[in-house]
Structure 1
Amino acid sequence: MLRGLAITPPVIGRISIGRVVEKNGKRLPERDDQFTLTSQIQNRDGWVLHPLNEELRKANTGKLRAIPIRFMFRDPDLNLRAEYSMFDRDTGRPVCVGNGETCKRAGDNGIESLPCPSPDGCAFAQAGGCKPYGRLNVVIGDEDELGSFILRTTSYNSIRTLSARLQYFSAVSGGLLACLPLELKLRGKSTTQSYRSPIFYVDLGVRSGSTLEDALTQAQELDARRRAAGFDQTALDAAARAGFANGAFEDSPDERAAVAEEFYPDAGSDRQGATDGSATDTSAPAPTTLRDKLERKAVLLGGAAA
């Protein structure tokens, strides 16, 4: 294993809730009210759709607002990694990543471990644009049980909701999170900051037409089959945990261009890459009026989607 390189779950596709469009010579994220599954290949028009995208869209008879998924790992924190993150505006490289208690910060003297008071209490964060950044890996379909789709998000609403749901489902299932048949759901809500306009975020629940009791029964049956076949979930979790710990930061070099454009769309407007799943969190044309500016701020604070 190469030291210093985070070994992350194999990714075979992306989950996005928006896209990057070119407006007035700038590449800006644009909101959407449905999921889109893409491959990891780009062309001139953006990310190429994954075959499962059309298949699931037909099953939903319209907009794709629910995706049946399973998780790879028993530990909720392996499936969803959420951190306070600050990236270099030009390169997309991580500058500082923390959890509210401690952080790793890249500087002239290498990577330092420092206290992390969260963005609201950190002068360094407020000067550089630190925000929550979550990565969720899920399994969709049966073609590759160890290959995942990744959803990246900077939405407070999505990160908070997904974190809670993962912990709850892990608890009620007795640690059988990786065996539960679940689905990602796109939900909308209005707040005073959004001027009663809907903002969208990602939630997690049992699959449509099923109950929690049904899901628990299916999880127990799948766990028994896996154990009989020699499947070692504990060892898989341990391997994933060691892989994440192998590097100081999770971001790979080919992810940095997307990160720069997600976090700082104006700075990344001259790049050819497109943003990943969190594009819709900060989507809107440049504000021109006071109302536009207030609405833009509401989207940034509330996390429009993803």
Structure 2
Amino acid sequence: MAIKNLVPRLAERGKVKIGERGEVKTSQQGKQFSQPKKLDHFVVTTMQRDAAGRMLPDLELMRKLAPQGGKLKELPVMLLYNDPDINFQTRYACYIGNRLWCCGDGESAQRLEQDGKYQPVPCPCLRLEASYTGKDKCKPNGTLQVLLQGVDRIGGVWKFRTTSWNSVNSIMSSLKLIQAITGGVLAGIPLKLVLSPKTVTIPGTGQNMIVYVVSLEFPGTEQELAKIGYDIAKRRADHKAKMDLIEAEARKALEHLEETPEEMREVQEEFYPEGVTIEVQPEEVLKSEPDPRQEPLAEPIPEASPPVPGEKPEAPTEISSSPEPLPGEEAVPVSWDAPHPPPQPLPNPKANKGVKVSAPPPPPPPGEMAEEGKPTLF
């Protein structure tokens, strides 16, 4: 027996990143967020996080991929499918708060309404235009799923996510070009995921800046690529129907693909940091509350002041184990064998609010002054 209508999804072994969390900044609304820091090399991570929520780098795997040390400027990868849209999933997405607010393909979109359901809306909208300067901007999103060559275990994929127009366009163009040379074959071809600098012009300002763009490349000539594609196609000729079925199941999984809250949070922190608020937990102030199970604490005994030269020191005051009776009450002897009375809560200073307090005693007569450090006797 199996669960019906269960759509499997590829297990994720790790992530490929070209950025990391940067310093904490404050937005115009007074909210704190972590500005992403762009890198000029790849970082391969595990699926574990540290105490600060950052993905832990896979140091052992990166040493294997870069045996001579140094930064990872390229990664040896292979694709799973022949369909570029399955290997590299793209969409427009806008995040508001902690949820995906709207996503579309350039013709139609699904937007989250107040009733908590997604409704169809036209796409694109003003939030996607370069002239839009408001908050909650819509951005292109791309997720590339690859196998890393040189890994001795197969059971999951590594995902590379980007919101860069340049990287989205470059990866999709690379897939189309390689597919055209191989006659439609993409799965199983040894490729390189390359990070290279590119000079771009900032719209509106005319200033030039250097950005790092990700692309897929074949490490060889066009003839070598065509031959590899032909060999793979010939070897899989008898399995073409099986490959078509596999890709059909993959498309079905993409249609019902939903991001988990962890994935939403990760995409927001890396690509939509202005909308993510860093929750700073206030320090808890421990307040001592009276415990009815404890005996009332005795007041500390004040230290005796040093005797004044020429005066006879006062005899120590004897402390009685039984409290003095109040006016109009009889003293009750205390027996250590008798059961203890129920403990009373600690006195609350606020409980005396509104109680009439007797006036303090008058000052000493003229000529008599209280000695410093000793109580005045009246």
* Structure 1 and Structure 2 fold alike (TM over 0.5): yes
Superposition TM-score tier, normalisation by shorter sequence? 0.7 to 0.9
What letter corresponds to residue 246 of structure 1 in structure 2? H
1:37 corresponds, among 37, 44, 48, to 44
- Give, in whole Å, the separation in 2 of the partners of 1:227 and 1:62: 41
2:136 corresponds, among 120, 128, 137, to 128
| C-alpha contact (below 8 Å) 1:139/1:146 kept by paired residues | no
The count of corresponding residues between Structure 1 and Structure 2 is 264
For 1:208-227, what aligned pairs fall within 5 Å after superposition? 210-226=220-236
2:107 corresponds, among 96, 101, 107, to 101
Q: Corresponding residue for 1:87?
A: 95
- Residue 103 and residue 125 in structure 1: after superposition, are their counterparts in 2 closer, same or farther (change >3 A)? farther
**CA displacement at 1:127 relative to structure 2:** 6.0
Considering Cα pairs closer than 8 Å and 6+ residues apart, tell me whether 1 or 2 has the greater RCO.
1
1:162 corresponds, among 168, 171, 176, to 171
**CA displacement at 1:159 relative to structure 2:** 0.4
Find the structure with the greater CA-based Rg: 2
- Give, in whole Å, the separation in 2 of the partners of 1:151 and 1:262: 12
- Give, in whole Å, the separation in 2 of the partners of 1:203 and 1:191: 16
**CA displacement at 1:212 relative to structure 2:** 2.7
Percentage of identical aligned residues: 27
| C-alpha contact (below 8 Å) 1:7/1:244 kept by paired residues | no
- Give, in whole Å, the separation in 1 of the partners of 2:153 and 2:226: 23
1:268 corresponds, among 258, 272, 276, to 276
Task: State the TM-score, normalized to the length of structure 2.
Answer: 0.62
User: Which structure 2 segments of 5+ residues have no match?
Assistant: 26-31, 281-378
Q: Corresponding residue for 1:245?
A: 255
Q: Corresponding residue for 2:85?
A: 77
- Residue 138 and residue 159 in structure 1: after superposition, are their counterparts in 2 closer, same or farther (change >3 A)? same
**CA displacement at 1:52 relative to structure 2:** 2.0
For 1:112-261, what aligned pairs fall within 5 Å after superposition? 112-118=119-125, 119-120=127-128, 128-141=136-149, 142-145=151-154, 147-193=156-202, 195-207=207-219, 210-226=220-236, 232-247=242-257, 250-261=258-269
Q: Residue 128 of structure 1 aligns to a residue in which SS? A: coil
2:118 corresponds, among 111, 114, 128, to 111
Q: Residue 72 of structure 1 aligns to a residue in which SS? A: coil
| C-alpha contact (below 8 Å) 1:179/1:220 kept by paired residues | no
- Give, in whole Å, the separation in 2 of the partners of 1:21 and 1:268: 13
What letter corresponds to residue 206 of structure 1 in structure 2? F
Q: Corresponding residue for 2:302?
A: none
- Residue 145 and residue 108 in structure 1: after superposition, are their counterparts in 2 closer, same or farther (change >3 A)? same
**CA displacement at 1:230 relative to structure 2:** 9.0
**CA displacement at 1:172 relative to structure 2:** 1.9
- Residue 113 and residue 230 in structure 1: after superposition, are their counterparts in 2 closer, same or farther (change >3 A)? closer
- Give, in whole Å, the separation in 2 of the partners of 1:49 and 1:14: 9
| C-alpha contact (below 8 Å) 2:181/2:222 kept by paired residues | no
Q: Residue 132 of structure 1 aligns to a residue in which SS? A: strand
- Give, in whole Å, the separation in 1 of the partners of 2:132 and 2:10: 31
- Residue 126 and residue 27 in structure 1: after superposition, are their counterparts in 2 closer, same or farther (change >3 A)? closer
